[in-house]
């Protein structure tokens, strides 16, 4: 394996997500050198690239929507009584 894609998720604002990604991108060489130290028995150290994974954000939005629906249901039930 010569290439490794690393998918990350960051909960926070778009600005925080961009800062996190920029930090990882600027530390890529350091992270790769640390990886090489841990993988010294292997012939190659993979080139690494970071990619933003939006799945956790989608799950968070879905859970927030479920929470809102539950609250609406409770409110409707209280109003009916």
- pLDDT, one tens digit per residue, over 3-48 is 999 999 887 888 999 999 999 999 999 999 998 888 888 888 889 9
Which among 9, 58, 4, 11 has a CA at the least distance from the CA of 28?
4
Our count of domains for the chain comes to: 1
**In the predicted model, is pLDDT for residue 81 greater than 70?**
no
H/E stretch holding 10 reads none
Residue carrying the six token digits 């990882």: 24
**In the predicted model, is pLDDT for residue 65 greater than 90?**
yes
Domain that holds residue 72: 3-80
Token duo for residue 26: 């600027």
pLDDT for 77: 74
Contact of 8 with 53, CB cutoff 8 Å? yes
pTM over cut 0.85: no
């Amino acid at each position: 394996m010569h290439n490794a894609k690393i998918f990350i998720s960051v909960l926070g604002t778009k600005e925080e997500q961009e800062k996190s990604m920029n930090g990882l991108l600027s530390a890529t060489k350091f992270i790769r050198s640390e990886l090489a130290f841990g993988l010294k028995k292997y012939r190659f150290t993979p080139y690494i690239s970071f990619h933003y994974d939006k799945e956790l954000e989608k799950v968070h939005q879905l859970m927030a929507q479920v929470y809102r629906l539950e609250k609406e249901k409770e409110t409707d039930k209280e109003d009916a009584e």
